[in-house]
Structure 1
Amino acid sequence: MTGDAPPRAGTLRAEEVTVVIGGRPLVRGVSLEAGPAEVVGLVGPNGAGKSTLLRTFYRVQRPTSGRVLLDGDDVWRMPGKRLARRLAAVLQEATEDFDLTVYDIVAMGRTPHKRAFEGDGATDRAIITESLAELEAAHLADAPFDRLSGGEKQRVLIARALAQRTGTLVLDEPTNHLDLRHRLDALRLVRRLGVTAIIALHDLDLAAAHCDRLCVLDGGRLAAAGPPAEVLTPALLAEVYRVHAEVSENPHTGAPQITVLPEK
């Protein structure tokens, strides 16, 4: 990997985090942790509170109570630039619709490492180029970002987080809009980087295959946490997802594999 010393994988922890918006509790006393170089999947049905919880990690939504800690430091008390050197986020939706090229978008990932108004140096340019290449987006460097497809935008935003060169990643549905191969590539890349990651995913089979542990949210509460094989049981799928399913072992990977059964 281009650049100086590789970033140190951190420990990211939520301690009794509650988020109340408009009088409605969206997250209710959730505690969870991702240790150094651990990939933790955050799963649960729509409206379970996954995105709201992740927003407290990268300082978009302040917890009503509880704390979010990165290596023991409260992220809400850290200077923004310091946090951005240690934690990068990929949001669920691409919101950057202004007139910038793909290269410009990915270059934003280098901002926390530079002084105000400082241009890109040789190291910055090499990291930007490498990050685009990792996501097979180098050929898009000069393209206007707002003209890309949803899948292309998502790959560029992952490249921007990669260019940020942090040891901790928070990803909200990073495989959204991606085709099957690019979904697999993105999750394999997170693993290959050796960073700490908390990833919200809808696809339970993908989550089981690529995450060390799963944390299941239901109605804003933590319903279960542990290795995928322990968490993804027929009983939990019935209780949280309201489906009748069988869970088997993938013969190639050994990961849990879910088959939803027809209603009786």
Structure 2
Amino acid sequence: MTKEAMTERAAALTVRQVSVRIDGKDLVRDVTLEVPSGEVLGLAGPNGAGKSTLLRTLYRAQRPTSGQVLLDGYDVWRMPGRWLARRLAAVLQESGGDFELSVYDVVAMGRTPHKRAFDGDAPDDRAIIADALERLDVADLAYAPFDRLSGGEKQRVLIARALAQRPGTMVLDEPTNHLDLRHQLDALRLVRGLGVTAVIALHDLNLAAAFCDRICVMHAGEVVALGTPHEVLTPALFRDVYRVDAEVSAHPRTGIPHVTLTTGGSHPMT
């Protein structure tokens, strides 16, 4: 299938002065972002920085205390859920529950926004589902029970479900969690190659540098850095935000910034 056949049209995503306050605590404070159509934005920061909370406002799991989230100019909180589900897919950190369903059935759930109630899978649906299973290397697990899978296999199935949704925009919260090195690279290459607008929370900043157009770093609920990997990934950022010492150099083959953490001894950590 062509890239165009596998996705809805990529949309511009705007976060306008979004704040989230829960139980008297500010989790996100006055965040403003513009993610142009087709851009892949990496979202980084230490634990508790507000990344997951901000992402939840994008796919309508957490209503902002103030501010707006716009998809191509439409306030996602004012549009019907079905409208959003046809345009935006979310892949979360948690497995989504131990579904008593087969892998095929879980991935097929991604087609639901595009069908009427009680419709079965049309030939086009089955082709999209099969393609998603193949792209995430889980076709051989299609009829295995989802709740019997390993954490990494579940994560690949959930990414396949999002792909089957044919979104123009994807929100992914630590999608490489539980994945081995090969499948981490495969998953990020896939998202990068779809041509969708994507916001991806990643702890691994070397992966963020390799696959994201820009990186947004959050700390204590606020955006503290936003720009290209070359602009954002600096020793000062690691010292001020992460409280670690790091060296940042250009990868000898790609020229992409490469982060090496220093442990304080003679052995660096990459």
Matched residue, 2:268: none
Residue 117 of structure 1 is matched in structure 2 by: 118
Matched, 1:181 2:178: no
Q: Which amino acid aligns with 1:260?
A: L
Preserved contact between residue 90 and residue 170 of structure 2 (Cα < 8 Å)? yes
Q: Give % identity.
A: 69
Match of 1:129 in 2: 130
Cα distance in 2 between the residues matched to 1:149 and 1:262? 32
Partner in structure 2 of residue 258 of structure 1: 259
- Offset of 1:6 from its aligned partner? 4.5
Q: What amino acid is aligned across from residue 167 of structure 1 in structure 2?
A: G
1:1-12 to structure 2, matched below 5 A, reads 1=1, 6-12=7-13
Matches of 1:240 and 1:49 in 2, distance apart? 13
Structure 2 residue aligned with 1:49: 50
Amino acid at match of 2:33: L
Which runs of at least 4 in structure 1 moved beyond 3 Å after TM superposition?
Answer: 2-6
Structure 2 counterpart of 1:139: 140
Q: Distance in 1 between matches of 2:225 and 2:7?
A: 33
- Any residues of structure 2 matched to 1:83-102 within 5 Å, and which? 83-102=84-103
Cα offset, 1:33, TM superposition: 2.0
> How far 1:253 sits from its partner (Å)?
1.6
C-alpha separation in 1, matches of 2:119 and 2:189: 33
Report SS of the residue matched to 1:52: helix
- Equivalents in 2 of 1:150, 1:230: separation in Å? 34
SS of equivalent to 2:20: strand
Measured after TM superposition, the shift of residue 4 of structure 1 is 5.2
Q: Deviations over 1:71-116 (max 9, x none)?
A: 0000001100010001011001102213100001000000000001
User: How do 1:96-245 and structure 2 match up within 5 A?
Assistant: 96-245=97-246
Amino acid at match of 1:199: I
- 3-state SS in 2 of match to 1:191: helix
Equivalent pairs, count = 264
Structure 1 residues 5 and 205 mapped into 2: Cα distance closer, same or farther (>3 Å)?
closer
Q: Secondary structure at the match of 2:15?
A: strand
Q: Is the 8 A contact 2:48 2:220 kept in 1?
A: yes
Q: Could you tell me how far 1:166 is from its partner in structure 2?
A: 1.1
The CA deviation at 1:13 is 1.3
Distance (Å, rounded) in 1 between the aligned partners of 2:6 and 2:29: 38
CA distance in 1, matches of 2:6, 2:55: 27
Q: What are the superposed Cα offsets for residues 139-198 of structure 1, whole Å, 9 maximum, x if unpaired?
A: 010000000000000000000000000110000000000000100000000111111100
Q: Please state whether the residue corresponding to 1:157 is helix, strand or coil.
A: helix
- Which residue identity does 1:41 align to in structure 2? G
Q: TM-score, normalised by structure 2?
A: 0.95
Residues in 1 aligned to 2:44 and 2:158: alpha-carbon distance in whole angstroms: 21
Alpha-carbon distance in 1 for matches of 2:11, 2:257:
28
Equivalents in 2 of 1:4, 1:45: separation in Å?
37
Partner of 1:65: 66
- Cα distance, 1:133 vs structure 2: 0.2
Judged with a 3 Å threshold, the aligned counterparts in structure 2 of structure 1 residues 227 and 5 are, in CA distance, closer, same or farther, namely: closer
Contact 2:38 2:197 in 1 (8 A): yes
Q: Distance in 1 between matches of 2:126 and 2:167?
A: 17
C-alpha separation in 2, matches of 1:78 and 1:54? 18
Question: TM-score, normalization: structure 1?
Answer: 0.98
Provide closer, same or farther for how the CA distance between residues 171 and 5 of structure 1 changes in structure 2, counting only shifts above 3 A. closer
Q: Which runs of 5+ in 2 are unaligned?
A: 266-270
Aligned equivalents of 1:191 and 1:5: distance in 2?
13
Q: What is the distance in 1 between the residues matched to 2:189 and 2:16?
A: 28
Q: In structure 1, list runs of 5 or more residues that go unmatched.
A: none
